[in-house]
Structure 1
Amino acid sequence: MREIAFIRQNKDKWLRFENIINKNNSNPDELTKLYLHLINDLAYAQTYYKKSKLVIYLNDLTIKLFQKIYKTKRQDTNQFFFFFRTEVPLLLYKYRRYILYSFIIFSVSLLIGVVSAMHQESFVRLILGDHYVNETLNNIENGNPTAVYKSGSNWGSFIGITFNNLRVGLSCFAFGVTGGIGTCYFLLQNGIMLGSFQYFFEQQGVFWQSVKGIWIHGAMEIFAIVIEGAAGLILGASILFPKTLDRITSFKNGLRESIKIVIATMPFTFAAGLLEGYVTRYANDMPIFLAVFIILGTLSLISYYFLVYPYIVNKKILSEIGSKK
């Protein structure tokens, strides 16, 4: 059968499947019947239309259905662990393009900050403010470039820093309702700030001292903000590009799934706050190998969860689907 004829024959059925999958009160028996239909259609498409986008569409639809069936059969298993171990990673895999877009936007804005600070001396003061720049210059003269992180108590710093990071991340996400424009602005703003901030320390000849102090907590803090930016882009795309769904349903789905991704960043945001409140203040006196170990360790941990682990979970699910065909 030609691909176009296969699509025409089954299109209405697949759209009906999408609507049923999106319902919160779907019948488990009904879902199982749909699943059997879908894996047969997927197997046929993989056999005769290997390079078609139809295979990708049916594969995504099958994974969503498998995930929903899997959740209904897990009443005796801890939902908390399922959320972080399976549900969120599958969403991260599904929306991996938006994570890439968020990293690109942030990286470009960081480069803009570096180049702008390099060619315009007043740019750093414009972005960071005179008070912060003057205070940091004074700290550099006293031999402690990151002394600003020593201000306040450990507990007070942790609380204040964590709430600020949550505010920034949630704002970056929430402004996705503007079609993603607000999210792009927040990513641009924070990227330019970070780029000019780091170049400022390079100008003063204390770049590596600043890296040791800032990135102990910054690896997870910045990474989490970029992921929250990706969630904002997902929310914006659900409004602008509803695909086969009506716009309201698409928005509800996008909101629900992007919120889950934001929730997954929160443990890392809290961990970054703990590091900034309790560890960063001692970075100046810390052995370089210990600082590098913490930076690479935290970066590896969050990178694995948001970038690598989703592929592992998706591969496992596909393997289970394949074994049931």
Structure 2
Amino acid sequence: MKPLTTWFRKQEADTPPALESAALRSDRFRLEREGDWRRLEHIVTALEKNRLRRLSDQDVLDLPVLYRNTASSLAVARQTSLDAATLEYLEALVRRAWFQVYGPRQSPFTWLRRFFGGGLSRAVRAIWLDICIALTVMIIGTMVGWLLTDRDTEWYYALVPGQFADERQPGASAEILRQSLETKDNAGGLGTFAAALFSNNASVAILAFALGFAFGIPSLLLLVHNMAVLGAMLWLFSQAGLAPDFLAWLSIHGTTELFAILLAGAAGLHIGRSMAFPGQKSILSAAAASGQRTAKVMLGVVMMLIVAGLLEGYARQLVGSTAARATIGGGMLLFWILYFFVFGRGRDAPEVDAPS
């Protein structure tokens, strides 16, 4: 019995140092990684409580990385048999983070309801400064087109594409110009026309957005060029005393179409401005963050261009009264202004972008 008693005594003497070593190893492991765990817990808690306003763009971008690092820490903790409290904490945190990174997403119906129920309007308001800059540039472009054509009519042929000019060109009589604004007898074939108009307008808007990656300057130049075309045509009809009729004819679809192109140009400018002035971020991370912010805006632009194509292909061709045309165009403009800048203001929705 003596050897066995001696063995037990030896084990009792060896136990405290072993436990002390394990505790030190656990403490060191936790201290080296606890900062990332706490940050992940903060992000997950904010997401669970639908408080995205409290998170920065970098927090959202780092969420998958923090989740993978914490899951790796959990695997190491299990292999090295760290203390039960650390294991329990990490298991709970990894489960919560997994749900936010890979968990079930909301249904398409719920996403659409939240998108049209305030997500889009808030995204537009988030780039209000870029909208103001783009609007100023568009007004300047219209004035440039008018002044250049008024100075030399050859500028009209340089600015206005041939398919838009046809009989609408300098020297045309007021009667010919008025006839170009008249309605069609029926709507036959207008569906194809509407589809072609949507394709053209969408290409302009998408190009204005895509050029934003060149620090936004090409986007502004494209807005100037497109609005110069409008300024030249406005000058033409004004010379014949038909400016109100032309504006009413154009407004049916123009208030929606030009608003969409304005938003697309502003979205491109927002990305370019973020890249030119990234602040504490790298250029690539600033571009990624602004790209996420403007993605909703571009989805709204596509929706608006569909509406504009339908209005241009049908309503503009079927409504002949100048007053009725102006009422439709003005009503659409009022609708977009109220929707983007009034509707959804002040709501704390989970899809709100992080402040720029």
TM-score (norm 2): 0.65
Correspondent of 1:231 among 242, 245, 267: 267
Alignment of 1:200 onto 2:245: no
Look up the SS of the partner of 1:136 in the other structure.
coil
The number of residues matched between the two structures is 264
What does 1:72-221 correspond to in 2, within 5 Å?
Answer: 75=106, 78-129=110-161, 132-137=164-169, 140-142=174-176, 143-146=178-181, 153-221=189-257
Aligned equivalents of 1:128, 1:152: Cα separation in 2: 27
Query: How far did residue 131 of structure 1 move?
Result: 6.6
Query: How far did residue 233 of structure 1 move?
Result: 0.4
1:216/1:244 CA distance change after superposition, 3 Å? same
RMSD: 3.4
Structure 2 spans left out of the alignment, 5+ residues: 1-34, 61-99, 350-356
1:64/1:255 CA distance change after superposition, 3 Å? same
What does 1:205-284 correspond to in 2, within 5 Å?
Answer: 205-283=241-319
1:171/1:75 CA distance change after superposition, 3 Å? closer
1:88/1:63 CA distance change after superposition, 3 Å? farther
Look up the SS of the partner of 1:243 in the other structure.
coil
Verify the 8 A CA contact 2:122 2:340 in the aligned structure 1: no
Instruction: String of CA shifts for 1:99-133, please: whole Å, max 9, x gaps.
Output: 11111111111111122222222221221156743
Aligned equivalents of 1:149, 1:161: Cα separation in 2: 17
What does 1:313-324 correspond to in 2, within 5 Å?
Answer: 313=345, 315-317=346-348
Aligned equivalents of 1:112, 1:174: Cα separation in 2: 24
Structure with bigger helix share is: 1
Instruction: String of CA shifts for 1:197-216, please: whole Å, max 9, x gaps.
Output: 11111112222221222111
Query: How far did residue 28 of structure 1 move?
Result: 2.5
1:288/1:84 CA distance change after superposition, 3 Å? same
Query: How far did residue 281 of structure 1 move?
Result: 1.4
What does 1:44-83 correspond to in 2, within 5 Å?
Answer: 62=54, 75=106, 78-83=110-115
Aligned equivalents of 2:119, 2:173: Cα separation in 1: 46
1:265/1:75 CA distance change after superposition, 3 Å? same
Verify the 8 A CA contact 1:139 1:146 in the aligned structure 2: no
Q: Which amino acid is 2:126 matched to? A: K
1:170/1:191 CA distance change after superposition, 3 Å? same
Q: Which amino acid is 1:113 matched to? A: G
State which structure, 1 or 2, has the greater radius of gyration over its C-alpha atoms. 2
Verify the 8 A CA contact 2:256 2:332 in the aligned structure 1: yes
Large movers: runs of 4+ above 6 Å: 32-35, 148-152
Verify the 8 A CA contact 2:275 2:286 in the aligned structure 1: yes
Alignment of 1:28 onto 2:44: yes
Q: Which amino acid is 2:134 matched to? A: S
Which deviates more, 169-178 or 242-251? 242-251
TM-score (norm 1): 0.71
Partner of 2:71: none
Instruction: String of CA shifts for 1:48-87, please: whole Å, max 9, x gaps.
Output: xxxxxxxxxxxx953869xx8xxx7994770112123233
Aligned equivalents of 1:30, 1:74: Cα separation in 2: 17
Structure 1 spans left out of the alignment, 5+ residues: 1-15, 36-59, 319-325
